[in-house]
Amino acid sequence: MTNPIPDLLKSEVILTTGTNTTENHPIIANYIKEAVTKRGAKLLVIDPRRIALVDSAALWLRPRPGTDVCWINGLMHIIIKEGLHTKDYIEERTEGFDELSAHLEEFTPEYVSSITGISQDDLFAAARMYAGASPASILYAMGITQHITGTDNVKSLANLAMLCGNVGVTGGGVNPLRGQNNVQGACDMGGLPNVFTGYQPVLNDDAGNKFATAWGVDNIFAKPGLTVTEMFSAAEKKQVRAMYVMGENPVLSDPDKSHIEHCIASLDFLVVQDIFLTETARLADVVFPATCFAEKDGTVTNTERQVSRVKKAVDPPGDTREDIWILNSLSARMGYEMSARTAKQIMEEIAKITPSYGGISYERLENERLAWPCPDEDHPGTPVLHVGKFARGKGRFFAIKFIPPFESPDSEYPFLLSTGRVMAHYHTGTMTRRGTGLNRISPESLAEINPVDAEKLSISDGDMVSITSRRGSITVKAWINKRSQPGMVFVPFHFHEAPVNLLTSTAIDPVAKIPEFKVSAVRIEKAS
């Protein structure tokens, strides 16, 4: 996120897209509602489903899934044609505007409406609403990223924000909502195949030498690794022979479940480190029982880049061990003694070798929350990114082409499947489905089907239906409502009894390698 969450209270317009904020980020949704009801902000919701935020929206646009680049380009086309863009900001702080402007010529309201299904009147209203605000904020989540064009979708939103001068200002920004409490922190700590901590490229010799010195080794094998989606295909080809999975349940969370299970079976050796025996852990050769967040010390870096202390509250049960203990012990048996033995020592090492975390310490975190970049101990942290200038100097516009989804409905598979979450559960339900109260709220998987489609298929509310794609079939209970538009079905992915990722394709974004979970072609039939 370029801006902190409370900045939403300073926004004149809040544009949300690809985020069911009320169910997936309810605290942030409360800020949105307060901004609308108490601060006079206007809410612009752009989402294929009728999510709860629509009830608070000044305007709701309902695009066809997988057409995000098209409608974003369409809004920018109108903004430029009507002279609503911030010319001084563009001249002083950006580059590539002329190329973008020329590219947008073809994205006329007529063309965009034909592709997205959004009316021309709504396109004009949305463009004028967003461009007419100062400042305006953009919020998005996996409804934007989980496409083969996920990277393009994010770049397009950045184009829109810069076009209207909304980056580097209080109350504005381009703000991805991260899915779990420390996803941001995991990325910051090098949980990506091409960077060290703080996004220092592994191909940078200076960075490699710095880490080699810090870790007391002669050199670092500086070659980008594989992403999660690439690892499983590599396992199938015997290019990856062993896998170590920590706190992840790919058997349920990754696309094309049958393919994932086949790839795991192709491994010579699988280790899983987790707090419960997940569906993936059941397939492992070795399982390391780990501690949960409340049973160890550490930090969390949240969605707005703020670092907070986490302190051990209770002792772990049985023979479980902290992640640090497990990894240190394993490293020692493989011939390398790690010097950092405690969470505090690790935090000190992070500060020494990670410029963006250079000024963050346990001592400071006792009294304050700090947002990176925080380069030294006298720095107050950086709540808003790109103030005055962008990290790269000038912000760059990208001319983004519209590419349709990998799969589209056809005569054999006439419906479009999208997956996601419900409020009561998280991800594969490893933790939330063990709670009695949460299971009472959401005890089973429900497939959202529009009444128009239900009537055609002779399906009643509560009927069991078979949903089939080119990868497989699941049986799930139908929930007839108007949340999903005709021709579309939504199924959450928390439930192993109806593993919807059996149906999703392995098509991925060529840059980020993220799967296209939001668009798969399926057919629906009443189950016998």
Whether 146 and 232 share a structural domain: no
**Residues 6 or more apart from 120 whose CB is under 8 A from it?**
109, 110, 113
Same domain, 18 and 166: yes
Overall average pLDDT of the 498-512 stretch: 90
End-of-domain residue from the set 143, 177, 211: 177
Residue located via tokens 């949903």? 467
- 3-state secondary structure at position 182: coil
Name the E strands within 380-438: 395-396, 415-420
Is the pLDDT at 257 greater than 80, yes or no?
A: yes
Residues 159, 263 within the same domain: no
CATH number at residue 494: 2.40.40.20
For 39, the 3-state DSSP assignment is coil
Sheet holding 59-61, edge to edge: 59-61, 42-46, 13-17, 136-140, 174-176
Of the ranges 219-223, 246-250, 373-377, 425-429, which one carries the lowest mean pLDDT score?
A: 219-223
Classify residue 329: in a domain, yes or no. yes
Angle at 420 between CA 419 and CA 426, to 5 degrees: 140
Q: What is the DSSP letter of 365?
A: H
Q: Is 390 part of a structural domain of the chain? A: no
For the beta carbon of residue 241, count every other beta carbon within 10 angstroms: 11
b/e 70-92 (16+ beta carbons within 10 angstroms → b):
bbbbbbbbbbbeeebbbeebbee
My answer on whether 157 and 49 are in the same domain is: yes
What is the rounded CA–CA span in Å between residue 461 and residue 225?
47
Q: Is residue 265 part of a domain?
A: yes
**Tens digits of residue pLDDT in 421-436:** 998 888 888 888 888 9
pLDDT at 464 over 90: yes
CB-CB contact of 143 with 154 (8 Å): no
Asked if residue 275 and residue 169 are part of one domain, the reply reads no
E strand segments, 469-508: 473-480, 488-492
Percent of the chain with pLDDT over 90: 87
Q: How far apart are CA 47 and CA 60, in angstroms?
A: 8
Q: What is the dihedral of CA 401, 404, 406, 408, to 10 degrees?
A: 180
**What's the pLDDT tens digit per position in 12-36?**
999 999 999 999 999 999 999 999 9
* Average pLDDT of the chain to the nearest whole number: 94
3-state secondary structure 235-280: HHCCCCCEEEEECCCHHHHCCCHHHHHHHHHHCCEEEEEECCCCCC
For 403, the token pair is 């590419």
E strand or H helix at 45, and its extent?
Answer: strand 42-46
Q: Is the pTM of this model over 0.75?
A: yes
State the SS3 of 93-139. Answer: HEECHHHHHHHHHHCCHHHHHHHHCCCHHHHHHHHHHHHCCCCEEEE
The helix (run of H) or strand (run of E) holding residue 15 is strand 13-17
Is there a single domain that holds both residue 331 and residue 206?
Answer: yes
406 inside domain:
no
Tell me: do 194 and 70 sit in the same domain: no
On whether both 92 and 228 belong to a single domain, the answer is no
Same domain as 56, residue 31: yes
CA end-to-end distance (rounded Å), the chain = 48
**163 plus 207 within the same structural domain:** no
Same domain, 187 and 128: no
Whether the pLDDT of residue 340 is over 80: the answer is: no
Q: How large is the C-alpha radius of gyration of the chain? A: 24
**pLDDT confidence of residue 331:** 94
282, amino acid identity: R
* Domain that residue 490 falls in: 415-526
Cα distances (Å, whole numbers) of residue 128 to 133, 134, 188, 432, 514: 8, 12, 36, 42, 32
Beta bridge partners of 6: none
Boundary-marking domain end, from 342, 371, 400: 371
User: Omega of the bond prior to 373 within 30 degrees of 0, cis?
Assistant: yes
**For residue range 54-83, what is the model confidence (pLDDT) as tens digits?**
999 999 999 999 999 999 999 999 999 999
Contact call for residues 297 and 311 (beta carbons, < 8 A)? yes
What does the alpha-carbon distance between residue 342 and residue 346 come to, in Å, rounded to a whole number? 6
CA distances from 486 to 64, 327, 343, 453 (A): 11, 50, 51, 6
Do residues 127 and 53 share a domain?
yes
Q: Is 98 in contact with 151 (CB distance < 8 Å)?
A: no
Number of domains in the chain: 3
Question: What sign does the dihedral 399-118-43-56 (CA atoms) show?
Answer: negative
Pairing of β 464-468 and β 520-526: antiparallel
Rounded distance between C-alpha atoms, residue 246 and residue 288, angstroms: 9
Rounded Cα gap, residues 217 and 249, in angstroms: 33
- Torsions phi, psi for 227 (to 5 deg): -80, 170
CATH number, domain containing residue 236: 3.40.50.740
Q: What is the pLDDT of residue 329?
A: 95
Please give the structure tokens belonging to residue 47: 């989402």
pLDDT digits (tens, 9 = 90+) for 388-418: 999 899 999 999 999 999 999 999 999 999 9
User: Which of 429 and 352 is assigned the larger pLDDT?
Assistant: 352
- Give the H/E segment covering residue 14: strand 13-17
Of 117, 146, 177, which residue is a domain's last? 177
Which residues, in sequence order, are CB contacts of 261 under 8 Å at separation 6+?
A: 251, 283
The stretch 230-258 carries a mean pLDDT of 93
The string of pLDDT tens digits covering residues 151-184 is 999 999 999 999 999 999 999 999 999 988 899 9
